Each structure stands twice: as structure tokens, then as C-alpha cells.
Homo-oligomer: A and B are copies of this chain.
Amino acid sequence: MQRSPLAPAKFPTLPPVAGVQLASYAAGLRYTKRADLMLAAVPEGTAVAGTLTTSLCPSAAVDWCKELLPGGTGRAIVCNAGNANAFTGKAGDTAARATAAAIADALEVEAAEVFLASTGVIGETLPEAALVAALPKLAEGLQPSNSDQWEAAAGAITTTDTYAKGSSASVAGTDAVVVGIAKGSGMIAPDMATMLAFVFTDLEVGPAQLQEATTRAVENSFNRITVDSDTSTSDTVLTFATGASGASAIGNEAVFQEALNAVMLDLAHQIVRDGEGATKFVEVSVHGADEDYAAKTIALAIANSPLVKTALAAEDANWGRIVMAVGKAGQAANRDRLAIWIGDELVAEHGVQADSYSEARATEHLQGDNVRITVDVGVAEGSATVWTCDLTHGYIDINAGYRS
């Protein structure tokens, strides 16, 4: 697969997270000539938090994580790429339990401390025997989390991604860091379902606080991106706090939240930039809505509209389609006070095209890789920003052509 034109120049240099060990391994379960298993091991007492897909047909791994998360601690996360282990019935549950048990054996921890994620084809039985046989070899490869290990781990969880995704931030005023890896190239990739993100910090954070900070960071990052409006059976974000830096989140709540937000937002943007067929990174901001939630609903209606997304692909300043999307969002909007900007160009205000509007200037903005659409719906103070990409022939090629 050709690297996305919106990809960063290279994988970032990521710092180690004290206490985190990483391994990846090529088990050949679906892919050949690449790692398809990833393991991260963390010390006793590590707090774990997370958010899971809202799909009502979740994968076996998501079901497993749902059972474990209330415990608030864990020792490992293991992820396989190539098979989602979703809609696989009892065999899927059994395979998930066997995976956790095998890693628990290798690490001498409890199976109930081993988190799971699976990404890939839905409905195919996971080759349990081959997977379980590979897991001890995966565990043998554990090494401290240096930058090469992060890059290998990020690569091992990819499916249709065109590049591996990682990000880091320091927790200001402490020695602690936050490092995350993610995969995804669509809110759901074709067959290869799933957006996954695993984020680690060596700050000491209690489980309840970690969950709260995670929920808040996810809401402002992964829950604000959309490629094709589809939701995976397997979406999973897990956060691990080892405490091994010696620094604590107590008294550092704000700086920790800031670092976590920064890592998750960067990873979320990297997923959009790898959107299937994407040629434009698009930021949609809505202001003046009834409340923030209403603004987000309107912003997502614009970001998910196939008509808006195809116009962006064509670099066509077709702002009537933005009006259409605002109108269908079902949230209050005052047509006679509606204002629209493309980049910095005021396109429409007071319910009509602006006198000063220059389609040439709007088009010039649309010709760049990074596009901004701003809408003021003229009702109250609610606002929200979401991110998406354009809809191109590349999306059809990838999704109509993939399985064959």
C-alpha cells in the first residue's frame, strides 16, 4: 500500500516509559514478512483505564477488556493484527481466554491481568493453536521501551494503515512522560476493522483518576475524528500508568491531562491523515450552537457528508453542501445568522453569500493539504472541532477492492 500523501515524514523518536517492556513477533497468522503480534508488559500495581467501542456486536477481545477494566490494574496488553476475532461465537471467546492464559503463563501473572485487542477480518475464526504457540516466543522478545521498540510495536498492530503511528509528550515539571501508539485508517478500516490506541505513562496515577483523564482525552481526540462514519466492532483505547518514574499525578493533574490530551490528539490526527484514499486533512469547527454537544453533532454532520467530502476532494468551494449538512444535523441553527468560512475566507453571512466573498481565494485554500471549514450557526455559545479527510476514488479502490 502506498504511503498516505498526508503521512508525517517519519516515525517520531519516542522516549522510554519507565517500567514498560515491549515485544513484537511475526507469527504469520495472516500477514507474511511482518510482525503481527504486539505485547507490552508493565509492572505490578500499574493502573489501567480505557474506552471501548459502543458497537453492540463487539469482538471477543472487547468483551474481555470490559470484564477486566473495572479492576483498574493490569500487567500486559497483547494485540494481534489480521483477524478481529469478532462474530466468531464461542470459539472466539475460547481463543481470547487462551491468549490471555498463555501470556499470563509466560509472564507469571494472572490471566485476568492481561488485556487483549484484535484487529482484522470480521467473522473468521482465529487460528487459536498457531496463535497460542507463538505467544511464548513473543514474550521472550520483551525489551525496555526504547524508540526502536515503540516503532516495531506500532508497526505490529497495523492492518491497512499506510504508516505506523506514535506520539509522546512530557508531563511538565516532572520526569514522567506519556507515550502512545495507535492504528487505524478509517473509523473502521475495510474488513480490517478497528481503531486501536495504547498509551503509557510512568507517572503514578490512581485507576479512577486515570479513567477520568482517559475519558476526557478520548472525548476530545478519538471521538472527534471520522473518516467514513463507520464504527468498528473492536475500537479500543487503553491507558497504562506504571508509576515507575517516581512522580505522581497528585498535584500534577492539569499537566498530566495536558500531556495525555496532546498524545491522543496527535495520534487521532495521524489516523485521519491515514484515512483511506485521503488527500486532504480537514478541520471542521462549529461555533454559536445551542451547546457544545449540538456543535459537535453539526460538525460531524458536515465531516461525514459524502457530498461535502467529495467537493473537498475536487477542491470545489461548493458551500451549498455545507448549508445542506448544517440543515440535516437536526440541531438548532439560525439560517438568517449562519456564517461560513473556508480557511480565512468569509463565504456566507446573514443567510446569504458574503459581499466580499472571493471563490478564487476559497479555492486557493482548498488546494492545500490542510483545509479548515468554520461555521457559526448563530444561536448561542456552543462550539466543537472535529477532524476528517476528503472522499476520493482511492476510498472506493481500497474498500471495493480489498478482500479479493
Contacts and interface: CB of A to CB of B under 8 A. Distances in A.
A330 B57 CA distance: 10
Interface stretch (A25-33, A85-93, A96-104, A199-207): A85-93
4 tightest CB-CB pairs across the interface, nearest first?
A122-B320, A57-B327, A55-B327, A231-B328
A225 to B, nearest CB: 15
A16 interface: no
A319 B352 contact: no
Given A87-B352, A233-B327, 8 more contacts: A53-B327, A57-B323, A122-B323, A193-B324, A231-B324, A233-B323, A316-B400, A316-B404
Interface of A: 53-58, 84, 86-89, 91, 121-123, 188, 190-191, 193, 228-233, 304-307, 310-311, 313-314, 316, 318-321, 323-333, 335-336, 338, 348, 350-353, 391-393, 395-396, 399-401, 403-404
A302 to B, nearest CB: 11
Nearest to A194: B324
B122 A400 contact: no
A323 B313 CA distance: 29
Given A313-B400, A316-B403, A352 B391 contact: no
Contact of A54 (B89, B306, B314, B330): B330
A378 to B, nearest CB: 11
Contacts of A333: 56-57
A310 B396 contact: yes
